[in-house]
Amino acid sequence: MGPSQGSTLTPTTSATAAAADVDIRLLDVLPVYVKELIAGGAAGAFSKTAVAPLERIKILLQTRTEEFKSLGILRSMKKLKQHEGVFGFYKGNGASVLRIVPYAALHFMTYEQYRCLILNNFSSLGTGPFIDLLAGSAAGGTAVLCTYPLDLTRTKLAYQVANNGQFGHGLRRLPPLPYYTGIKDVFWSVYKEGGLRSLYRGVGPTLTGILPYAGLKFYIYEELKSRVPEDYKNSVALRLCCGALAGLFGQTLTYPLDVVRRQMQVQSQQQLNQISAPRITSTMQGISTIIHEQGWRQLFAGLSINYLKVIPSVAIGFTAYDMMKSILGVPPRENTGGASTSASSA
């Protein structure tokens, strides 16, 4: 009876083992940079969806949407839920995730590639966190240039508020903005307005902000991780803390540039022509215009909610990336060397 029981279990056990073996072999076949792309994309999707409601409110505050500019975070969320329901908190999140998956994938993967390139070709720079600063900045710029039109699309969708005519009673009425029905409609409408250049409106302040922000983010995260005792290196809680601090410091230093970018993205040529409003055309001119027309405090509009958003977002992003790399079998840096992998030793 014992042998017969063993024989009945053998096919199932063999099939499971075979499936596991195939999975392991498939992971082994994938190049390291592909694994890093997958890990980065998954990390971006997790982090962005987790903070989507806060991102929507932040955009409405940054762009001085008439109905929200005098409201706080809680009142803004209550007003948005009243007019658009729970799904209103996720308006534009489809475009956001569609953008963040390739953005985060490119950001993390190119960071590893640039880091390896610098270490192998500029050994005089050493191997400290300064390398993370340079690689992170270059990776941030690369990811932005490749995915910027999707960021502009997300902003325009998030900027729209349903039942717009019901708001602003007794206030000066602004000319109506274009209403977009989805991602494809935004792309086509913006492209018709000014060609490919319009799809990159606001990319100047974005690059000006992302280069130091992305660099500082990786620099601070790797520096903090290096100071964690060896026994706690795999602690998820400590990774979350390191990621949260990295996002907090990096975002504070570059936040005004994000405000300029958002206001450039939601500008409508038709509306500007009708109300003779000053057009934001560059980073420094945008900062000057906002201070003169809206007050210096507008450069930090939504900063408090951004703290609430960026801390969990960056923390979840870094932690998910590290965990996905572990699941996918990306070699740890200290165990790799040479130019043959993208995760060469520091």
Give the whole-angstrom CA distance, residue 277 versus residue 286. Answer: 13
The model carries a pTM of: 0.61
Position 67 confidence tier, pLDDT thresholds 50, 70, 90: low
The pLDDT value given to residue 142:
92
The residue that leads in pLDDT, 250 or 119, is 119
How confident is the prediction for the chain on average, in pLDDT? 75
The residue that leads in pLDDT, 148 or 333, is 148
- Predicted confidence (pLDDT) per residue in 52-61, tens digit: 888 887 777 7
- Predicted confidence (pLDDT) per residue in 162-214, tens digit: 554 444 444 344 445 567 777 888 888 888 887 888 888 878 877 877 777 78
What CATH number has the domain spanning 30-162+180-328?
A: 1.50.40.10
Residue 298 has pLDDT above 80, yes or no: yes
Return the percentage of the chain with pLDDT > 70, whole number: 77
Chain centroid, CA 66 distance in Å: 26
The residue that leads in pLDDT, 136 or 20, is 136
Residue 284: CB atoms within 10 A of its CB come to 11
3-state SS string for the chain: CHHHHHHHHHHHHHHHHHHHHHHHHHHHHCCHHHHHHHHHHHHHHHHHHHCHHHHHHHHHHHCCCCCCCCCCHHHHHHHHHHHHCHHHHHCCHHHHHHHHHHHHHHHHHHHHHHHHHHHHHCHHHCCCHHHHHHHHHHHHHHHHHHHHHHHHHHHHHHHCCCCHHHCCCCCCCCCCCCCCCCHHHHHHHHHHHHCHHHHCCCHHHHHHHHHHHHHHHHHHHHHHHHCCCHHHCCCHHHHHHHHHHHHHHHHHHHHHHHHHHHHHHCCCHHHHHHHCCCCCCCHHHHHHHHHHHHCHHHHHCCHHHHHHHHHHHHHHHHHHHHHHHHHHCCCCHHHCCCCCCCCCCC
The pLDDT value given to residue 346:
27
The pLDDT value given to residue 26:
67
- Predicted confidence (pLDDT) per residue in 230-262, tens digit: 777 778 788 778 888 887 877 777 888 888 877
Return the percentage of the chain with pLDDT > 90, whole number: 2
